[in-house]
């Protein structure tokens, strides 16, 4: 009986040894799996951080690039045409146009008039979508300082105006506006970032002042 108990005890010890060995192997495998998972997670996080960093750097570089370097899907002429389409009236005269950026989106802000009404609209420079529009009566129509129409056939192109504005000037163009100044002259007002803003004659391209 004693020997039987010894045999059973030996078997139990052997089984315990096997289970311990298996348990050790499982623990080691679990440890390795956890380590691999941690490494994979770290690699995924690092990759995501790198992508985010690249996107931020691209946006910063894009903001440092002036509109003189950009080619928009919607040209100035396209924007004017879409402005008139928005109000379903091709006879509206255009009094001012501004191309500017707001929160990464470039838009044409256009103002026009006809008889006793004034019109305003914002048009996406890439999609051509009319983002906002407004029509109202011109209560100041009797004033001597009435709106004056832009003759687009007589003015130089925005590209040429920006190139002239950057001659002997540092920086890049943030925005431009075509409008009449206080003297009644039709001008390009060029907003130059990190440089001197420029006002130039919209017809001749001559610089009026920086």
pLDDT, tens digit (0-9, with 9 covering 90-100), for 32-45: 777 777 777 777 76
Report the C-alpha gap between 125 and 96 in whole angstroms.
16
Instruction: Name residue 180's beta-bridge partners.
Output: 186
Of 186 and 29, the structure prediction assigns the larger pLDDT to: 186
pLDDT at 169: 94
130 forms beta bridges with: 123
Q: How confident is the model at residue 47 (pLDDT cuts 50, 70, 90)?
A: confident
112 and 205 assigned to the same domain: yes
Same structural domain for residues 9 and 101? Answer: no
Are 185 and 148 in the same domain? yes
Sign of CA dihedral 184, 155, 177, 150: positive
**Whether 8 and 108 share a structural domain:** no
User: Could you tell me what percent of the chain has a pLDDT over 90?
Assistant: 61
Note whether 29 and 131 are same-domain residues: no
pLDDT at 194: 94
- Statement to judge: residues 13 and 37 lie in one domain: yes
Considering the domain architecture, whether residues 134 and 87 belong to the same structural domain is answered as yes
- Please give the residue range of the domain that contains residue 19: 1-64
CATH of the domain at 112: 3.10.450.40
Domain match, 184 and 129 both = yes
**pLDDT value, residue 6:** 44
What are the start-end ranges of the H helices in 65-157? 76-86
Question: Does 4 have pLDDT greater than 50?
Answer: no
- Residue 94 vs residue 20, higher pLDDT: 94
Question: What value does the mean pLDDT of the chain take?
Answer: 83
151 and 133 in a common domain? yes
Q: How far is CA 65 from the centre of its chain?
A: 12
Q: Tell whether 73 and 143 lie within a shared domain.
A: yes
As a whole number of angstroms, the distance between CA 16 and CA 33 comes to 25
pLDDT score, position 138: 80
In the chain, the number of structural domains is: 2
Confidence check: pLDDT of 13 > 60: no
Stretch 105-117: mean pLDDT: 96
Predicted confidence (pLDDT) at residue 26 exceeds the cutoff of 80: no
101 with 164, same domain: the answer is yes
| Residue that wins the pLDDT comparison between 23 and 111 | 111
The CA distance from 181 to 158, in Å, is 17
CB–CB of 210/197 below 8 Å? yes
Contact 98, 188 (CB under 8 A): no
Position 44 scores a pLDDT of: 72
Domain limit, last residue, from 64, 91, 114? 64
Model-level pTM? 0.68
Residues 73 and 42 in one domain: no
Tell me which of 43, 64, 85 is where a domain ends: 64
For residue 205, give the nearest of 170, 131, 155, 130 by alpha carbon.
Answer: 155
Per-residue pLDDT for 56 more than 50? no
Using the 3D structure, point to which of 13, 33, 64 is the last residue of a domain: 64
Model pLDDT, residue 25: 66
pLDDT of residue 181: 94
């Amino acid at each position: 009986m004693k020997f039987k108990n010894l045999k059973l005890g030996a078997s139990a010890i052997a089984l315990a040894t096997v289970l311990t060995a298996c348990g050790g192997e499982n623990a080691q495998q679990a440890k390795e799996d956890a380590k691999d998972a941690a490494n994979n997670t770290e690699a995924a996080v690092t990759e995501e951080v790198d992508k985010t960093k690249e996107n931020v750097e691209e946006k910063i570089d894009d903001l440092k690039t002036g509109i003189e370097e950009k080619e928009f899907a919607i040209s100035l002429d396209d924007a004017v045409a879409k402005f008139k389409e928005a109000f379903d009236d091709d006879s509206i005269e255009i009094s001012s146009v501004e191309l500017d950026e707001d929160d990464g989106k470039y838009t044409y802000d256009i103002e026009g008039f006809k008889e006793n009404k004034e019109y305003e609209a914002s048009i996406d420079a890439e999609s051509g979508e009319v983002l906002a529009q407004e029509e109202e009566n011109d209560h100041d129509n009797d004033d001597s300082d009435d709106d004056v129409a832009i003759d687009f056939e007589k003015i130089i192109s925005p590209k040429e105006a920006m190139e002239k504005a950057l001659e002997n000037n540092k920086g890049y163009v943030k925005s431009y506006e075509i409008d009449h100044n206080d003297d009644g002259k039709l001008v390009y007002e060029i907003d130059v970032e990190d440089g001197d803003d420029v006002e130039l004659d919209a017809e001749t391209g001559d610089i009026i002042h920086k």
